[in-house]
Structure 1
Amino acid sequence: MFKKLLSSIGIGSATVDTKLAKAQYAQGETVEGVVEIRGGSVEQHIDKIDLALVTTYIREVDDHKFEEKAVLARHKVSDSLTIGPNETKTIPFRFTLPYDTPVTLGSSKVWLQTGLDIQMALDPQDRDYLTIEPHPLVTAFLEAARQLGFRLHHVQCEQAPRHWQRRLPFVQEFEFRPASGAFRGRLDELEAIFFVSEHGVETILEIDRKARGFAGLLAEALDMDETLVRFTYGPNDLASLPQLLANAIHRYS
């Protein structure tokens, strides 16, 4: 009875360890691994085992910024089971990363949180950080921007305006600065948001024109120097992507 009481408050109870096949994945890739449960000093019943894919984003309220957590996906590893004293169980899992999983650049972090649902006990959890690479189509955009002389300056997940929200309450913004090439001196920065799907990428570009003369300075002061452009491309556009991107920016810069 005393051992059961200790177990119910999290002393001598089961522990969990999630082991991934690898730590680096691309958006849309399949994640595989195993959840290893080790029994404590008494037998315990586990109602379920689940995984949560988690990230953080910045939310702004009255000019104050707060970091919020967001669950990108959940995956059930197992229904109810019983783990005996000092017993070890290994359960495999696999799931597909959502296309809108943030890339782990800049301040963006993504982790897999494993939880054991044990009645009347502290919920044992395990946190495993992942390295998320861009989807190949997004990688192609980053390379096209580099060829045009842009340097990736900042990446951050921020709360999205309602009309930009899709499945999640935030978007990941990629901010570029023109370091060389035709757009140096013409643009202050270029920002991009990617909505990846099976068929291609919808990109929202914010083109921040460099102020030129009094009219340009006035436009900049009134935030009229920024233009939003919807830019879409797919696998068949990769060879010409640098030129397509250059044309879109030229049109509005």
Structure 2
Amino acid sequence: MSIFNKMLASVGIGASKVDTRLEQDTLTPGETVKGVVVITGGSTEQNIDSIYLSLNTTYLKESDDKKYSVKACIDRFKVADPFTVKSGEKKEFPFSFRLPFDTPVTIGRTKIWLSTGLDIKNAIDPTDTDYIRVAPNPTMSAILSAIEELGFRLREADCEQAPYKMRVRLPFVQEFEFVPVGGQFKGRLDELEVVLLPNSQGDIEVLMQVDRRVRGLGSFLSEALSMDESNVRFVVSPSEVPYVRQKIKSIIERYS
């Protein structure tokens, strides 16, 4: 019977179960994630090599002029060394880790989830999935709010494959696309594309593409040759939060 149970467990029938319980499911980049992994033994004793957590999202990748969504692992964490769980036994493994500073925020179509897996030889690894909400940190929030206060509306936010020159650690960046719906830039700009790159010191590097609305005879050629776009790179520190609206306004005015 024991051999039969082990055979069933190897294909996932009567195997150990895993359940991850988070202390909170809303966090900001750089914040500490805390929780516990609960393992419940199945119908037979099992040797588990490790418990691993992986933080995941998806991003848009382009190939042959077509875009498709692919899964990406933002980071991976080991929770436990090898151990044995007996039939019906329950074990708990507390964990904590820092949410990477470059974790995308869950705005628009962006989703972030934590996958928990048990590494078991010759068996299907039991897994558990928990979605989390990643909110902008105060500096990021100030930047996004300032852009909206200047008359822009967020049209979409997506993670997209990054050109090699823009890559830091991950193969993608999160892009926020704004359109002017009021204020002084309505009618002057087509859109504003923004990428936020936080670092461990709390600063945010901002990559901004200002897409001017070109009028007149040369407008068609200007747009075709991307002459109507200006790429700007600047840094916003936490101390600049009270003045970030004026800083962004000045930059947009300079390139519009």
Which category describes the TM-score, using the shorter chain as reference length? over 0.9
User: What does the per-residue CA deviation read over 1:79-100, in whole Å, with 9 as the maximum and x for residues that have no partner?
Assistant: 1111111111111111111111
The 3-state SS of whatever aligns with 1:189 is strand
Q: Does 1:37 align with 2:39?
A: yes
Equivalence for 2:59: 57
The 3-state SS of whatever aligns with 1:171 is strand
2:146 to 144, 147, 162: 144
Equivalence for 1:68: 70
The 3-state SS of whatever aligns with 2:30 is coil
Equivalence for 1:224: 227
Question: How much has 1:6 moved relative to structure 2?
Answer: 1.7
Equivalence for 1:94: 96
Equivalence for 1:16: 18
The 3-state SS of whatever aligns with 1:19 is strand
The 3-state SS of whatever aligns with 2:107 is coil
Distance (Å, rounded) in 2 between the aligned partners of 1:116 and 1:57: 26
The 3-state SS of whatever aligns with 1:6 is helix
RMSD of aligned Cα (Å): 1.0
User: What does the per-residue CA deviation read over 1:169-197, in whole Å, with 9 as the maximum and x for residues that have no partner?
Assistant: 01100011111111111111101001101
The 3-state SS of whatever aligns with 2:218 is helix
User: What does the per-residue CA deviation read over 1:90-133, in whole Å, with 9 as the maximum and x for residues that have no partner?
Assistant: 11111111111111111111100000011111100011111111
Equivalence for 1:120: 122
Bigger drift between 46-55 and 146-155 goes to 146-155
Distance (Å, rounded) in 1 between the aligned partners of 2:237 and 2:73: 28
Question: How much has 1:218 moved relative to structure 2?
Answer: 2.5
The 3-state SS of whatever aligns with 1:28 is coil
The 3-state SS of whatever aligns with 2:186 is coil
* Matched length: 253
2:208 to 197, 205, 215: 205
TM-score (norm 1): 0.97
Question: How much has 1:211 moved relative to structure 2?
Answer: 1.5
Bigger drift between 95-104 and 217-226 goes to 217-226
Question: How much has 1:153 moved relative to structure 2?
Answer: 1.0
The 3-state SS of whatever aligns with 1:228 is strand
Unpaired segments of 5 or more residues in structure 1?
none
The 3-state SS of whatever aligns with 2:146 is helix
TM-score (norm 2): 0.96
Q: Hey, which bits of structure 1, 4+ residues long, moved more than 2 A? A: 215-218
Q: Does 1:181 align with 2:213?
A: no
Question: How much has 1:136 moved relative to structure 2?
Answer: 1.6
Equivalence for 1:248: 251
- AA partner of residue 33 (structure 1): G
- AA partner of residue 82 (structure 1): T
Distance (Å, rounded) in 1 between the aligned partners of 2:215 and 2:249: 20
- AA partner of residue 248 (structure 1): I
Distance (Å, rounded) in 1 between the aligned partners of 2:224 and 2:255: 18
